[in-house]
Amino acid sequence: MSVKPLLDVMAQLRDPESGCAWDVKQTFETIAPYTLEEAYEVADAIARGDLDDLRDELGDLLLQVVFHSQMASEQNAFTFDDVVAGIVDKMIRRHPHVFGDVQYATQAEQKAAWEAIKAQERKAKALRQQVATPESSASAPESALSGIAKALPALKRADKIQRRAARVGFDWPDATPIYDKIAEETQEVRDAVESGNRHDIEDELGDLLFSVVNLARHYDVDAETALARANEKFSQRFVGVEQLAAKTNTALTGLSLEELDALWDQAKLDRS
């Protein structure tokens, strides 16, 4: 089946006369949170290995693309076909070794070429934005960090910022100094806590988290994925603690920290 039926459905939903009142009143800004939510639900279906659910969630995510495209077409900005044409052109442009006659000797050479192509794209995008809004872009020269979306999850954005900085040589030579940096930032958190200044505490905790992301990056670990796994591991073990307590009809709130720790250790063994 082609995508046209979905385009037609969305056009009808957005029809000012006969459409759905909720859909008609939506804007790019109001729909954006739903777009993010659907992307996360796709990732969740993948993590659970549920391909039936993945099919459904991909449909929901596709609906978001169609929704944004329909709103843009109403403003004569672009259409769904323009979105498809743009990504097709981008993929061909970024893979000259597949769609052209370019050959790379090594994977490192291919990666370097990929980054060079993306850098050219960012430069072209910045020039387009400067032409579109010369007043706002006149004081914002091209940066190695340009184009990193501010709406990304903070850990993911930290990783991208660090990787971009590393491309121009602003990086530790290896992971060893980062351990010292984490220790330094940890002490600064302690100092901020002792001062009682909430702004400083938040600031120093942010620096500590940024350093931890840096350590993960140097070991080629995605910090967002690592934290997601830690969240899931903790959740499973905590449920185990609840289940162990329930077997003796004991409320967690009635247990001491030592008793809770004992249940935690047991839950770890049960789920290892």
Percent residues over pLDDT 70 in the chain: 96
80 belongs to a structural domain:
yes
What tokens were used for 254?
Answer: 């009635």
| 243 and 261 both lie in a single domain | yes
CA separation for the pair 247, 270 (Å, rounded)? 14
How does pLDDT run across 72-87, given as a tens digit for each residue? 999 999 999 999 999 9
Regarding whether 214 and 163 lie in a shared domain, the answer is: yes
pLDDT of residue 20: 97
Looking at the domain assignment, is residue 105 inside a domain? no
On whether both 207 and 235 belong to a single domain, the answer is no
Question: Is position 121 within any domain?
Answer: no
First-last CA distance in the chain: 46
209 and 266 together in one domain = no
Residues 164 and 204 placed together within one structural domain of the fold? yes
How far apart, in Å, are the Cα atoms of 16 and each of 25, 26, 69, 182?
9, 12, 16, 56
| Domain enclosing residue 253, as ranges | 224-272
Confidence of residue 208 (pLDDT cuts 50, 70, 90): very high
- What CATH number did the domain enclosing 28 receive? 1.10.287.1080
pLDDT value at residue 111? 85
**146-197 per-position pLDDT tens digit:** 878 888 889 999 999 999 999 889 999 999 999 999 999 999 999 999 999 9
Determine the pLDDT at residue 11: 97
Q: How far apart are CA 212 and CA 214, in angstroms?
A: 5
Residue found under tokens 């323009």:
82
38-42, 131-135, 218-222, 239-243: the lowest-pLDDT one = 131-135
Position 263 pLDDT exceeds 90: yes
214 and 229 fall within a common domain: no
Question: Per the domain annotation, does 125 fall within a domain?
Answer: no
Do 210 and 236 have their domain in common?
Answer: no
How confident is the prediction for the chain on average, in pLDDT? Answer: 91
**Domain tally for the chain?**
3
Residues 211 and 252 in one domain: no
216 in the same domain as 154: yes
Angle at 204 (CA atoms; ends 202, 208), nearest 5 degrees: 115
- For tokens 């990304």, the residue is 152
Residue 118 domain-assigned (yes or no): no
Residues 182 and 194 in one domain: yes
Does residue 138 surpass a pLDDT of 80? no
Residues 244 and 192 both lie in one domain: no
For residue 141, tell me if it sits in a domain: no
pLDDT recorded at residue 133: 67
122 domain residue, yes or no:
no
pLDDT score of 1 more than 80: no
CA distance 54 to 123: 35
Q: Which of 221, 248, 263 is the last residue of a domain?
A: 221
At residue 40, φ and ψ (nearest 5 deg) are -65, -35
Instruction: Go through 212-251 and write b for each residue having 16 or more CB atoms within 10 A of its CB, e for each that does not.
Output: bbbbbbbeeeebbeebbeeeeeeeebeebbeebbeeeeee
Q: What is the pLDDT of residue 231?
A: 93
Do 14 and 75 lie in one domain? The reply is: yes
Per the CB < 8 A criterion, the answer to whether 75 and 68 are in contact is: no
Q: Examine residue 116 and state whether it is found in any structural domain, yes or no.
A: no
